[in-house]
A and B are shown apart, each in its own frame.
Chain A
């Protein structure tokens, strides 16, 4: 029996066919099969959020999704946030507000923050903290991440993409 399978998915707007080992998670497939290493591995038990992606409109921990489950799915990763060389408002805000130190949790936070702002363009501080509680950061103490999300939200309300 073949230990690999082809998985067809639309990743960051592009249709791709990935050759995946049956044992691969979606995280493995993105990193090793698609070569998109922006999504990070932090714990493999769905507790840290470093592997956050949006799959069919839903924010998920890709380490808990099997690659096979991504068949036919639309997936957004951190690599899909910028349009060409136009950084997303969140990316710009994270830079301007110094919302990253080591940066390893940043892709997860960006994807999760975008998922929040897509459904709630004007979140309160509590709503932001609650939504992002599934993403762990050990470096920043979260303060500047909050400020970056608030800044990006304001920016996007004034200039929708």
Chain B
């Protein structure tokens, strides 16, 4: 059943409807230009030579044979970055792009070649001779965290507010949050459950591989065309890597084929620029699927221990978490973020959370949809389910009893503003799905879990231009990954009293709009939407002056309400923006509203999901019979895309829970570097996903918008785990809960159940 949004309830005219997206026709006809589609006059093709070793000193790189090959135009290495003394941070940043003294992971770029065609570039890369001194490598977080583990970065010491630990190790950060006294709390609690969990690295799995095309002109101007979630950040990265001012660069965002956090860091842009500088021609690089898996940014593998103590009535007394996050070969801080998520939805008087970011010889990890939260909350939602089971409590009631609301403190300290966790729990409680009896045939069961994620704030810019016929344009710097252009035009239309079709949205390059931060962090609709709203208000302010001129009254006597300019004095019929448009020229010229915002972040999002499954005990396959996802989105701007974000996140979560993992061989290398064996859900693997949109407007956002994109990936992990437990009587605390793991768990459970005599 299709849900009605706010417009259906009469609150807004355009917000909450489902207009056709403005970029839609180009995308269904194949006209839309994604990064790899670009074709520039005399462009060359680039290819990267990558390390075959997970950890090795680079002794020598000989590019002469490659450079001599016919058709090869240039070869670059880390030596082509500006040379001289650089800070450790700068070295990490460069090493991530092109290795300098060490190959830190299999797939680490060592050199880049530009040639007349992609096959020649590939052959030339193979002709580059590199001598390595292979070193012991460590892939597993729990191996890498040990004191005697081989060091991934020799100079690394643990950053901790407890005073810098001078002994080198693979631990980048130790973060701790503490409130009250957990030992005291656990001693007083009437039930304490402590469990250990493990999740493997997974990949965002966007269908479009990374790409970048660069043209470095002889006058020093550089243009880069790429599929990126953050063109302004690409520009900043390039400026830092190449030590050139921002004004030398123009980054043009092409259409992007998925990102989910994996296309925030740049990978190919700097090598493309270096190659273009050497050749004087545009150079295009596109990654292979295997390289995408091995050498972009997977989501951290995490090992965790979760301990929660409650009273018999279900009230949580104390919570303790220990979390170790894979960092990859370069420092990152997802553990720090995970530490802020792990217990976030629940009130706890006594808390102790320790989180570690641990270096491993793998590619540096990157963000993936609510990054750090799925792994942390997986354990929490399992333990909460066990507690509900032990106490004979409904899992929703247990969560309602402990749910945070406005004014409650988050585990790491700050107070929650207005949030909708309780409302979302109630929405699931009252849903058709939850009210129906759980599936009861053998090996069938129901599971439930919650999810929490922040909504980032950061900065955005927008302009709203009024055309001579009163229609409008809205320009932002937010890359459109999922239909956000349509939402921008909806919000501008709502503010101006126009229809969505009358507002033309576009996404600008870094020359054409003010600085705008990433499309990600569940911030785009909320924060860039705020910029759009403010820009519209700016335009309205300018238009009021024009109306005052036309009506020969003072500006203070003009108001804008219900989509029209009205006079507080007498004798003037209301005038819409459409009617004013043709009169702009005569009253002073064009009207362009603009705004740059860095607003308060809008406050967190919560989701609660329920799933019915059936386990095949022979194959271990988990079939999903029914799935319902409820989420507080603040205000839904475009209903179809809010539903779509929820459904898409759920299916990624299903893949993470049931099948996806980096399978590593003896040598540590990833063995499943393709979509055949890195098994993401297909259309056949998932049922209809029912969505329930809860709207608790976010404070401080003009339309009450929260983010929607990230939260949906979190609950499937816990919900499926809890359902599988009910179905087969075993808790699979290691992800993925893939068919072999499920079968193994069933067999082990049977062995325990069989009488001893039958086993001999």
Contact = CB atoms under 8 A, between A and B. Distances in A.
A38 B648 contact: no
B31 A136 contact: no
A21 B483 contact: no
Contacts of B84: none
A139 interface: yes
A140 B27 contact: no
Interface in B627-677: 638, 640-641, 643-652, 674-676
Contact of A77 (B21, B30, B119, B255): B30
B553 interface: no
Interface stretch (B201-209, B428-436, B734-742): B201-209
Nearest to B34: A104
B424 to A, nearest CB: 19
A27 to B, nearest CB: 11
A141 B644 contact: yes
B683 A102 contact: no
B47 to A, nearest CB: 14
Contacts of B25: 87, 91, 95
A64 interface: no
Interface stretch (B163-171, B189-197, B256-264, B563-571): B256-264
Interface string A71-95: 0000001110110000100010011
Contacts of B680: 136, 138
B101 interface: no
Contact of B28 (A37, A41, A106): A106
Nearest to B36: A41
A6 interface: no
A77 B32 CA distance: 14
B342 to A, nearest CB: 26
Contact of B683 (A39, A79, A94, A145): A145
A45 B293 CA distance: 14
Contacts of B32: 103
A132 interface: yes
B236 to A, nearest CB: 24
A31 B205 CA distance: 23
A19 interface: no
A67 interface: no
A81 B27 CA distance: 13
Interface in B1-40: 18, 20-21, 23-25, 27-34, 36-37, 39
Contacts of B652: 138, 141
A100 B29 CA distance: 12
B400 to A, nearest CB: 28
A82 B289 CA distance: 31
Interface in B666-707: 674-676, 680-686, 688-689
A100 B208 CA distance: 14
A54 to B, nearest CB: 14
Nearest to A144: B644
Contacts of A43: 289, 674-675
Contacts of B676: 45, 47
B30 A142 contact: no
A134 to B, nearest CB: 8
A81 B29 CA distance: 8
Interface string A21-62: 101000000011001111111111101101000000000000
Nearest to A109: B683
A32 B21 CA distance: 29
Contacts of A135: 683
Contacts of B36: 37, 40-41
Contacts of A105: 207, 257
A68 interface: no
A94 B28 contact: yes
Contact of A141 (B21, B29, B647): B647
A139 B482 contact: yes
A133 B289 CA distance: 19
A143 B688 contact: yes
A146 interface: yes
Contacts of A98: 18, 21, 483, 638, 640-641, 643-644
A23 B209 CA distance: 21
Nearest to A135: B683
A95 B675 CA distance: 27
A110 B481 contact: no
Interface in A121-142: 128-130, 132-142
A138 B206 contact: yes
B389 interface: no
B103 interface: no
Interface of A: 21, 23, 31-32, 35-45, 47-48, 50, 77-79, 81-82, 87, 91, 94-98, 100-107, 110, 128-130, 132-146
Interface of B: 18, 20-21, 23-25, 27-34, 36-37, 39, 117, 119, 204-209, 255-260, 286, 288-289, 481-483, 638, 640-641, 643-652, 674-676, 680-686, 688-689
Which 8 residue pairs across A and B have the least CB separation, nearest first? A38-B30, A104-B257, A141-B647, A98-B640, A103-B27, A141-B651, A47-B675, A37-B37
8 contacts: A36-B30, A41-B209, A48-B207, A96-B20, A104-B208, A104-B257, A141-B647, A143-B643
